A and B are shown apart, each in its own frame.
Chain A
Amino acid sequence: MSPNRPLRVLAALSGGVDSSVAAARAVDAGHDVTAVHLALAENPQSFRSGARGCCTLEDARDARRVADVLGVPFYVWDLAERFRQDVVDDFVAEYAAGRTPNPCVRCNERIKFAALLDRARALGFDAVCTGHYARLVDGVHGRELHRSVDPGKDQSYVLGVLDAGQLAGALFPLGGSVKTAVREEATRRGLAVAEKPDSHDICFISDGDTAGFLRDRIGDQPGEVIDVSGEPVGRHDGAFAFTVGQRKGLKLDRAPSDGLPRYVLALSPIDRTVTVGRREDLAVTDVRGEHVRWCGPEPAGPFRCAAQVRAHGEEIPAVAERTGEPAAAGSAEPGPSAALAIRFDRPVLGVAPGQAIVLYDGSRVIGSATIAWAGANRVPA
């Protein structure tokens, strides 16, 4: 599929500036564009009891306004149930298990480039167009996923879970642009969303209170805060309110004997303990990943790469190697749960299980895994 040939494109319009300009560029490129706004929130609406509404009425209207200006058909698709199952429930379950999930990664993998792309293809569309800041390049590895030219906005990290089949059905018209230029373009095109602020928070937690959202769903799970030396230093209401590497908000009852600041080292939901320690105790050299995804051909043997362990995090030189067995007996393909071992060239601080580790070759994304374990100079038993 060449991006130069006119395609039947389903443009996902969130109601924000990026997806609007992306759709406009797809129209300009000569593609046959239909716009769709995804209704992802399940909320009862006034009067019509039991009916499904959305908390994002304003976004839906903004998206419709953009489609009208672009002169393309516009639909609202209700993917709220899938979103709840695949993203929100998963988010809560991951926190409950002591991990720190990235819901945007999950949404791209399961909603935008699965539920949406599958339905789009079945309806005769060639591709789903989004406003992600990442580049698709037809190169020696096939359809390659690369970082955006705007390092501040690059979103290749949250797309590192897409396989070749999904990338073949994706269109990212903003990957070669910087955000400021995209805003200027929105103004020039007369799109009413040009001045809309960027969204940074988790879209389904509208008030930004992640800990409160989790507490409502998991309930209080009080437990002890233990120092790495073994001494109890405080109490907490739920390990889900903490993330590995966190320093603020620990509310320790007593200062550790060495007087140094403490950071969250580990979360153990089974015995409800939160372990804290010194900054240097956060240092990690080895990661085991599960749910391995390749954005193209799987590299053979151990390979050098640059690893990124959180959104907008730094790149760390590393060596990665497949260690797992195929997930399904008799299957020729390694299953998605097969494991990946990554060794960093230098210690890294604050690696949180549940986050994605995305592996790069230059600007190209090789693949990704979900961090299952992180430690220093040893492999897990």
Chain B
Amino acid sequence: MTAELRREGNPSSLHAAGRRARRVVEESREQVAETFGARPGEVVFTGGGTEADNLAVKGLFWSRRAADPVRRRIVASPVEHHAVLDPLLWLAEHEGAELEWLPVDRLGRVDPGDVAGALGNDPDSVAFVTVMAANNEIGTIEPIGAVAAEAARWNVPLHVDAIAAAGQLPVDFAGSGAATMALTGHKIGGPPGVGALIVARGVQLTPVLHGGGQERDMRSGTLDTPGIAGFAAAAAVAEVELGERSKRMAGLRDALVSAVLEAVPDARLNGDPDPSGRLPGNAHFSFPGCEGDSLLLLLDARGIECSTGSACSAGVSQPSHVLVATGADDDSARASLRFSFGYTSTMGDVRAVADAIGPVVERARGARLASARRA
């Protein structure tokens, strides 16, 4: 990737520099396809995961509705990332889409039987189904294979947001049965600002970006050759090291979960308590009586970086729609923290959290009481 930053050449051009850049892009496309079980011709490079999800959600809806105006229903999991959720809400508000939310259990998991039920009731009116491979907030792995089988039974396309799963779980596009699958570079150790939508052969998408007709007319715009090279390099490494990395992250994650639950006995692990049912790099807790904001500040002051989930444009933290979908009330949704492990995390990091979390939770509880005192 750094080598590519020094070179020039538009991969769409016919001159020598363009041909050289095109070769880099096409070899990268082959690598990304190989890592994620797709054909090279199915890989559409995008400017990141959000764009890939937008292209899938809007592109599938528009093209399916254009082919048959009856298809306005979208069957969706309510725990999707905002990159899927917000385009869905936009389609409902501006394009007449009818959203049908699948129920999830308290672990945030979709039941394929509910997909069957939603599709069996008037399958002709369904534009597509969308269920993520694994949840980015609470780490729950979704039963994509079974969901895809239901979608296939009714001949309805399935979009899978695999952004959180990639780099932590094996992702096999061909084996998944998905029509489209979103991926992003920075979640697998690549650069930010580059991603891909894998689009199965024969699946039509109406483009979101119109212009020069790059990427099979589905995504116009000059390709970011260095970014794509970096994405492919990360994919190559992830493919080789996935098994070992996942095992190591799962070991750290299990140690962290035990340590936190021991230090704070009334803390609750959100998502699947069965380690095989959640992302190896994810641990997500609710700490009753705390504000997530206070926990974040106190941990940050001790050099521990974690996350409270999503925030509005101004930075005010919001109760997580994922936790709310699993049945949590606003208060416990706000009292939550996510710890993510990367390739560089160590047991020392786990010990630092284990040492800090007890006093931090105690202090955060005091702060919540203090700020309510004069109310």
User: Looking at the complex, which one of B314, B363, B367 makes contact with A76 (CB distance below 8 Å)?
Assistant: B314
How distant is B116 from chain A, measured CB to nearest CB, in Å?
A: 29
How distant is B375 from chain A, measured CB to nearest CB, in Å?
A: 7
User: Looking at the complex, which one of B86, B293, B316, B366 makes contact with A54 (CB distance below 8 Å)?
Assistant: B316
CB of B311 within 8 Å of the partner chain: yes
B374 near A53 with CB under 8 A, answer no
Closest A residue, CB atoms, query B300 = A73
Provide the main secondary structure of the chain A interface: mixed
Measured between beta carbons, the chain B residues less than 8 angstroms from A123 are 294, 297-298, 363-364, 367
Complex Cα gap A75–B317 (Å): 10
A75 near B312 with CB under 8 A, answer no
Against A, the Cβ 8 Å flags (1 = close, 0 = not) of B352-375 are 000000000001101101110111
Against A, the Cβ 8 Å flags (1 = close, 0 = not) of B294-335 are 101110110000000001111111100000000000000000
User: Looking at the complex, which one of A60, A77, A124 makes contact with B293 (CB distance below 8 Å)?
Assistant: A77
Which residues of A, 115-142, contact B by the 8 Å Cβ criterion?
A: 115, 118-119, 121-124
B311 near A76 with CB under 8 A, answer yes
Closest A residue, CB atoms, query B317 = A78
B363 near A52 with CB under 8 A, answer no
How distant is B37 from chain A, measured CB to nearest CB, in Å?
A: 33
A60 near B315 with CB under 8 A, answer yes
Stretch at the interface among A43-51, A311-319, A367-375: A43-51
CB of B343 within 8 Å of the partner chain: no
Give the one of A51, A54, A78 with max B CB within 10 A.
A78
A34 near B297 with CB under 8 A, answer yes
How distant is A162 from chain B, measured CB to nearest CB, in Å?
A: 13
CB of A143 within 8 Å of the partner chain: no
User: Looking at the complex, which one of B301, B313, B370, B374 makes contact with A45 (CB distance below 8 Å)?
Assistant: B313
B318 near A52 with CB under 8 A, answer yes
CB of B90 within 8 Å of the partner chain: yes
- Interface residue total, chain B, C-beta cutoff 8 A: 29
Complex Cα gap A39–B371 (Å): 15
How distant is A293 from chain B, measured CB to nearest CB, in Å?
A: 14
Measured between beta carbons, the chain B residues less than 8 angstroms from A78 are 293, 316-317
A51 near B314 with CB under 8 A, answer no
B315 near A39 with CB under 8 A, answer yes
How distant is A270 from chain B, measured CB to nearest CB, in Å?
A: 30
How distant is A166 from chain B, measured CB to nearest CB, in Å?
A: 11
Complex Cα gap A77–B316 (Å): 6
B318 near A51 with CB under 8 A, answer yes
Measured between beta carbons, the chain A residues less than 8 angstroms from B313 are 45, 53-54, 57, 60
A119 near B375 with CB under 8 A, answer no
Measured between beta carbons, the chain B residues less than 8 angstroms from A99 are none
A34 near B370 with CB under 8 A, answer no
Complex Cα gap A80–B367 (Å): 17
Complex Cα gap A54–B317 (Å): 12
B314 near A54 with CB under 8 A, answer yes
CB of B17 within 8 Å of the partner chain: no
CB of A82 within 8 Å of the partner chain: yes
A47-B90, A78-B317, A119-B371 in contact; A54/B363 too (CB < 8 A)?
no
Measured between beta carbons, the chain A residues less than 8 angstroms from B369 are 122
Chain A interface residue number, banded: 20 to 34
Which residues of A, 165-196, contact B by the 8 Å Cβ criterion?
A: none
Measured between beta carbons, the chain A residues less than 8 angstroms from B374 are 110, 114-115, 118
CB of B14 within 8 Å of the partner chain: no
A53 near B312 with CB under 8 A, answer yes
CB of A37 within 8 Å of the partner chain: yes
CB of A206 within 8 Å of the partner chain: no
Complex Cα gap A73–B301 (Å): 9
Which residues of B, 217-233, contact A by the 8 Å Cβ criterion?
A: none
Measured between beta carbons, the chain A residues less than 8 angstroms from B314 are 37, 39, 53-54, 56-57, 60-61, 76
Against A, the Cβ 8 Å flags (1 = close, 0 = not) of B268-304 are 0000000000000000000000000110111011000
CB of B66 within 8 Å of the partner chain: no
Complex Cα gap A115–B363 (Å): 16
B316 near A122 with CB under 8 A, answer no
B363 near A82 with CB under 8 A, answer no
A75 near B86 with CB under 8 A, answer no
Complex Cα gap A118–B366 (Å): 10
A47-B86, A47-B90, A114-B374 in contact; A122/B363 too (CB < 8 A)?
yes
Measured between beta carbons, the chain A residues less than 8 angstroms from B317 are 76, 78
CB of A236 within 8 Å of the partner chain: no
Complex Cα gap A80–B314 (Å): 13
Measured between beta carbons, the chain B residues less than 8 angstroms from A221 are none
Closest A residue, CB atoms, query B296 = A75
CB of A64 within 8 Å of the partner chain: yes
Measured between beta carbons, the chain A residues less than 8 angstroms from B86 are 47-48
How distant is A127 from chain B, measured CB to nearest CB, in Å?
A: 15
Measured between beta carbons, the chain B residues less than 8 angstroms from A57 are 313-314
CB of A85 within 8 Å of the partner chain: yes
19 sampled A-B residue pairs with Cβ under 8 A: A39-B314, A47-B89, A47-B90, A48-B89, A53-B313, A54-B312, A54-B314, A60-B313, A64-B315, A75-B297, A76-B316, A85-B375, A118-B374, A119-B294, A119-B367, A119-B371, A122-B371, A123-B294, A123-B363
User: Which A-B residue pairs are the 8 nearest by beta carbons?
Assistant: A76-B315, A122-B367, A122-B370, A119-B371, A60-B314, A54-B314, A118-B370, A39-B316
- Residues of A in contact with B (beta carbons under 8 Å apart): 34, 37, 39, 45, 47-49, 51-54, 56-57, 60-61, 64, 73, 75-78, 80, 82, 85, 110, 114-115, 118-119, 121-124
Other than the given A48-B318, A52-B318, 15 more pairs (CB < 8 A) read A34-B297, A45-B312, A47-B86, A51-B312, A57-B313, A73-B297, A73-B300, A75-B315, A78-B293, A118-B373, A119-B367, A122-B369, A122-B370, A122-B371, A124-B298
